[in-house]
Chains A and B, each alone.
Chain A
């Protein structure tokens, strides 16, 4: 059992929790993830590691309500427990494996979209601890759903916020900001983009034109998270890779995003039904003919 030590709501649908998980906190690195299960009936849910404290033995997770299980998870509070909390899974960010001296020579740009801000944060923080200042673009649809602005400001070199509707910071998509920064004369050696699949697809399309090597972090459907089931397979450079053990980070210019996006839809019908069951509770009768 893994105790929840803190809980915070970051916006309408995004929540943050600090969980005691000593084994995970001991060896985890930025870029890795965990799988959690609420209770004996729970689904295995892969979640980003947003922060960790080795001494306290804690992991900070951030999750967005996307289906019945994550909705159910919002009912957990400080003092409650996760039945299971396993990790760290996946490979750490490549940055963590580089020589610090060579990292310091690099001009690094992070692009975070929506809940993708959470996995970007530990990487930027880790770099700052090594004495490397990275620029960060954070995109959100509107000002109210922007998350982790203060935390990011504290660790980023330059922080550029943009909202789709222009309600805060710059206006427009993250791709526009990348283009603007380049037009303003900024130069980067590597870009790390984490966010919705569609955002990563368009960032990669742009950075390919700009000749800017780009790493993305994928979050496909997973079951075990240790390479056993193959549900998370993605096409990278025409080869089948398992995101859970070969990733989750891949060369964004080689990822087949269209295939990855289709694969994410696989259980949409089942998820929709589960959400209906949860919302309608005992009043759910299956009479619509679409659900059982």
Chain B
């Protein structure tokens, strides 16, 4: 064994997986996990913990994996994280825990994500659940949204002894874990639903089909339904479009719509009641994780798929692993390319996308080099479907129906970074509703901070 390298993780073959929706990464087995765990040198001043938004005791759980004490390894993780099987799969470890790992200086860092995943999967397969509160505090907290921020906040509060109810607008709990991230990256039944069961096992109640701001407002929850505090984790739901001609044509979808049809409504299955467009040639506009998810979904539905992104490969905001997987599966990248018009036939259906080529100029305010149009570089890509994956902005449903809840100019709810407190007493917020579109783990970190903030607030009351 080369101690400088990670124990490789088994994956489904690229050609085979391009035609199915089964999970790409197969994960470690016990033997591989113990071998990988032995690479951890158990630093006294563990940098990896500082890199983790929910501060899991990483060397602590890896130490347990090393000795094969999986149940205890799971309890160590679950003290800090409500969703380890999810995080082990979708966290950008390379820029967080693994990015700080001392092993990474000379060789490859410890494969913390894969070990976390193995630990959580082992616990699930062996029927181990996290431990709930022994004493109830007799106070009620409402959590709005059952995505990563809401589940984490609810789980933490329930563990402290609060009576927590999550309100979810859709018919299924999980938020972006259910409607956004595809099955082949994050299995719904086997992983997401089981993690949600674990949160419920802590005593959290989940009421689906409730749109806060419509069916009931936050003020009503507090005044009429007896909630002592509220956490808003409603996510960033509204899809952005480019505002170019042809965008309202038939065959143009937001990534949100395309992924929701496939993931939440199971449209990828033949017998699903909800339809999805199976284009012959699909352009996905954007370069983030959502763009990769949409592209790889379209590929699996039988389409030839192009990613159209205006900067170069280096600036792709998607995780390196996702880009790598997409390429392996046969996604074609049109980089330094920007759409200017969507072309349609007489019946209003997409039949092409007109693009210009770009080059990188001076860095802009984000520090990335600004893409500039190359004159006379227009060309048409022949496609029948266009998926816009340009990011999302927060849904104003809650901020517009809650009195004295401040938002910033992007309509994001203003909340204290350390404890989630908003401008309204007793109301806390975190996740994409506050930051705009970000990652699962950052939302979880915000949910965790808010749980602590709510606890402090209710302890004084």
**B275 lies within 8 A of chain A by Cβ:** yes
Q: In the bound complex, do residue A230 and residue B256 qualify as a contact, i.e. CB atoms below 8 Å apart?
A: yes
Hey, which chain A residues are within 8 Å of B277, CB to CB? 266-267
Of chain A, the residue at the smallest CB distance from B207 is A23
| Chain A, range 7-37, C-beta contacts under 8 Å to B | 23-24, 26-27, 37
> When the two chains form the complex, which single residue of A42, A86, A267 contacts B275, counting CB atoms closer than 8 Å?
A267
> When the two chains form the complex, which single residue of B211, B273, B347 contacts A226, counting CB atoms closer than 8 Å?
B211
Hey, which chain A residues are within 8 Å of B348, CB to CB? 259, 262-263
**A159 lies within 8 A of chain B by Cβ:** no
**B43 lies within 8 A of chain A by Cβ:** no
- A30 vs B211: C-alpha distance in the bound complex, in angstroms? 17
> When the two chains form the complex, which single residue of B251, B253, B273 contacts A68, counting CB atoms closer than 8 Å?
B273
Q: In the bound complex, do residue A43 and residue B265 qualify as a contact, i.e. CB atoms below 8 Å apart?
A: yes
Additional A-B contacts beyond A84-B209, A86-B169, A267-B275 (5; CB < 8 A)? A44-B274, A86-B210, A229-B254, A263-B250, A266-B250
A: contact size bracket: 35 or more
**B95 lies within 8 A of chain A by Cβ:** no
- B residues neighboring A (CB under 8 Å): 169-171, 179, 208-211, 214-216, 237-239, 241, 243, 247-248, 250-251, 253-254, 256-257, 260-261, 265, 270-275, 277, 347-348, 395, 397
Provide the A43-70 mask, 1 if CB < 8 A to any CB of B, else 0: 1100000000000000000000000110
Q: In the bound complex, do residue A230 and residue B265 qualify as a contact, i.e. CB atoms below 8 Å apart?
A: no
Of chain B, the residue at the smallest CB distance from A232 is B257
> When the two chains form the complex, which single residue of A24, A26, A228, A274 contacts B256, counting CB atoms closer than 8 Å?
A228
| Chain A, range 217-233, C-beta contacts under 8 Å to B | 223-224, 226-231, 233
Contacts A262-B250, A266-B250 given; indicate if A229 touches B169 (C-beta within 8 A): no
- A69 vs B272: C-alpha distance in the bound complex, in angstroms? 11
Hey, which chain A residues are within 8 Å of B237, CB to CB? 226-228
Contacts A87-B211, A267-B275, A271-B275 given; indicate if A262 touches B347 (C-beta within 8 A): yes
Hey, which chain B residues are within 8 Å of A212, CB to CB? none
Q: In the bound complex, do residue B169 and residue A240 qualify as a contact, i.e. CB atoms below 8 Å apart?
A: no
- A271 vs B273: C-alpha distance in the bound complex, in angstroms? 9
Contacts A86-B169, A223-B261, A263-B248 given; indicate if A23 touches B273 (C-beta within 8 A): no
- A86 vs B238: C-alpha distance in the bound complex, in angstroms? 19
Q: Is the interface of A mostly helix, strand, loop or mixed?
A: mixed
Q: In the bound complex, do residue A231 and residue B253 qualify as a contact, i.e. CB atoms below 8 Å apart?
A: yes
Of chain A, the residue at the smallest CB distance from B266 is A41
Q: In the bound complex, do residue A240 and residue B214 qualify as a contact, i.e. CB atoms below 8 Å apart?
A: no
Q: In the bound complex, do residue B256 and residue A86 qualify as a contact, i.e. CB atoms below 8 Å apart?
A: no
Q: In the bound complex, do residue B211 and residue A69 qualify as a contact, i.e. CB atoms below 8 Å apart?
A: no
**A166 lies within 8 A of chain B by Cβ:** no
Hey, which chain A residues are within 8 Å of B243, CB to CB? 240
**A205 lies within 8 A of chain B by Cβ:** no
Hey, which chain A residues are within 8 Å of B208, CB to CB? 84
Q: In the bound complex, do residue B211 and residue A42 qualify as a contact, i.e. CB atoms below 8 Å apart?
A: no
Hey, which chain A residues are within 8 Å of B170, CB to CB? 224, 226
| Chain A, range 184-239, C-beta contacts under 8 Å to B | 223-224, 226-231, 233-235
- A189 vs B277: C-alpha distance in the bound complex, in angstroms? 43
- A230 vs B257: C-alpha distance in the bound complex, in angstroms? 7
Of chain A, the residue at the smallest CB distance from B392 is A228
